[in-house]
Structure 1
Amino acid sequence: MIKLIASDIDGTLLEKSGDSISESMIEIVKVLIDKGIIFVAASGRQYDNLRRLFSPIKDQIGYIAENGSQIYYKEHSIMQEPIAPEVVRGILEDVYEKDECEVVMTGKKGTYIQPKGEFFRHYMEEVLKYDLQIVDDILAVEDEILKISIQDKNGIDEAAVYFKEKWGKTLSVVTSGIIWMDLLAFGVNKGSAMRALQEKLDIKSEECIAFGDNYNDVEMFESVGTSYAMSNAEEDIRNMCNKTTNSVENTLLSILEDL
């Protein structure tokens, strides 16, 4: 029996980061809810951004936000895991020594950037439509930090190697697409968040389905009974999943037909 369905957003429900969730997808989720199935948006995006995407049903679904560092269900916070302040400072100092990298810092009270260029500010505010605080000195921010995201618009691979080697034993470090990587408290990821949600809601892993397309979805795939990789995902991502799909909407419609 299916009790919970989780889906990644960018590259899974959305082809482009500036897109909106389709009306047809919103209607499908409404049907799932009517049938007693919990829908969870699982993403590296911020909680408020996800609520905007799912505005018509924002108070009726669950959220795994910031790649697992924030978990909400029906507006109620289930868990938030901050990074140690001295670790935050060390990461930020490293980022600002790398001219090609930009950083987004998400805390319990807000999301902060100190952009090195206008392109990054525009991308975050106008394309992704993040609710941001632009600061003059990101090191001076007073907040409990949940996630640090690093962007290199030329490709994140080189920076990922550096940060994984330096911080991989202290933090969870995961790439999220071609130009992003996320650093979270050690052991925090979409999978740990899924398990916390399952425990809170008294749902077994085999009663859950997850959709995703990237390496930040791996632990989530491992924490559910049935996993779907997008058909355009990397081969090793597809191989670790039970099934593949080229459309979450179409797959959900098929699932609903079988209920």
Structure 2
Amino acid sequence: MPKIHFKAVAVDMDGTFENDQLEYDHRRFEHVLTKLRQHHIHFIVSSGRPMMRLRRDFSGFLNRINVVADNGSILLQDNKIISSHVFTYKTAIKLINFIQNYYPSAQITASGIDRAYINPRATPDFKKKMFFYYPDLVQMANLTKIPPSDRITKLTLDCSSSLAGKMEREFNNSNSERIFCTTSGFSNIDVMPYGVNKAQGLKYFLRYFDIKPEELIAFGDGLNDKEMLELAGYSYAMANGDERIIKLAKYKAPSNNDSGVLQVLESYLQ
């Protein structure tokens, strides 16, 4: 077998592992995953997508991969939750009120461990997009009435990504439980508990598998991949990625529409 110097692979989904039609080549991935496992290399999906969506995306592979979902809020191993980071209920409701009061044009999806919530008055385009990512999405007229038993891991906002820094500062200046805002595109913001990101989730798995960060190869395209790529010894930005991420990464992979992740991994495995 060829000598491969990385021991774990981390991949983002949207704009990275999947093409613009939100698909990937399952047969080709099966072949690559089999070879990775022959080399005792761990495959970790590291995505802003919720657990419920990723379970559908990788149905049939879940007992052979690890998952960092909701940008690091939930970790799955063998299809079981091994770690979760959630807002306290008080902060989740306060955060929803804050966004509704100060950013009223921002549409909100509240992601929980078991289900997600959206206002039925959301635009058809936003609802269509959210129903894809959140198969168990519940429509609720007043999001501040989410039951306390539903632990909120993340808010997804439909608004300009340029507001992320301002929103984070304003909320954190007046609240002891702080938030972290990031984005994967131009018209969305993900809001998580402070300190939660993909890199933190990956560090958990690296410690568990006794793997050093320099033995990690990671692929991403958006700003919510920044910490993950900074962590990895082998960092790849997709050719279609954000220019800031391309400058940050050590290497460039072909675009997501050309199965860039699989191409790079195949080149190492040959």
C-alpha spacing 1:105/1:99, structure 2 compared with 1 (3 Å): same
Deviates more, 1:1-10 or 1:29-38: 29-38
Pick from 49, 55, 62: which aligns with 2:59?
A: 55
Secondary structure in 1 matching 2:92? helix
Write the mapping of 1:44-193 to structure 2, written as runs, cut at 5 A.
44-97=48-101, 98-119=103-124, 120-125=126-131, 127-128=132-133, 130-142=135-147, 143-152=150-159, 155-157=160-162, 159-167=163-171, 170-193=178-201
Deviation, structure 1 residue 151: 1.2
Q: How far is 1:118 from its partner?
A: 4.6
Q: 1:231 deviation in Å?
A: 1.7
Unaligned runs of 5+ in 2: 255-259
Q: Which amino acid aligns with 2:269?
A: L
Name the CA distance, whole Å, in 1 between partners of 2:34 and 2:188.
32
**Aligned pair count?**
252
State how far apart, in whole Å, the 2-side matches of 1:167 and 1:209 are.
34
Q: Equivalent residue of 2:16, what SS?
A: coil
Residue type of the alignment partner of 1:108: I
SS in 1 for 2:36: helix
Structure-1 residue corresponding to 2:222: 214
Task: Report deviation, 1:238.
Answer: 1.4
Q: Distance in 2 between matches of 1:239 and 1:161?
A: 21
Q: Which moved more, 1:210-219 or 1:33-42?
A: 33-42
Moved more, 214-223 or 78-87: 78-87
Does the C-alpha gap of structure 1 residues 234 and 196 become closer, same or farther in structure 2, counting only changes over 3 Å? same
> Offset at 1:121?
2.1
Q: Unpaired runs of 5+ in structure 1?
A: none
**Match runs of 1:14-53 below 5 Å:** 14-16=18-20, 18-23=21-26, 24-53=28-57
Question: 2 CA distance for matches of 1:255 and 1:156?
Answer: 35
Q: TM-score, normalised by structure 1?
A: 0.89
CA–CA distance in 2 between the matches of 1:59 and 1:194? 18
Query: What's the secondary structure of 1:10's corresponding residue?
Result: helix
Q: Per-residue deviation at 1:168?
A: 5.0
**In the TM superposition, what is the alpha-carbon distance from 1:135 to its structure 2 partner?**
2.0
For residues 195-214 of structure 1, the aligned pairs below 5 Å read 195-214=203-222
Q: Does 1:256 align with 2:269?
A: yes
**Residue identity matched to 1:85:** Y
Note the C-alpha offset of 1:56. Answer: 2.4
Partner of 1:8: 12
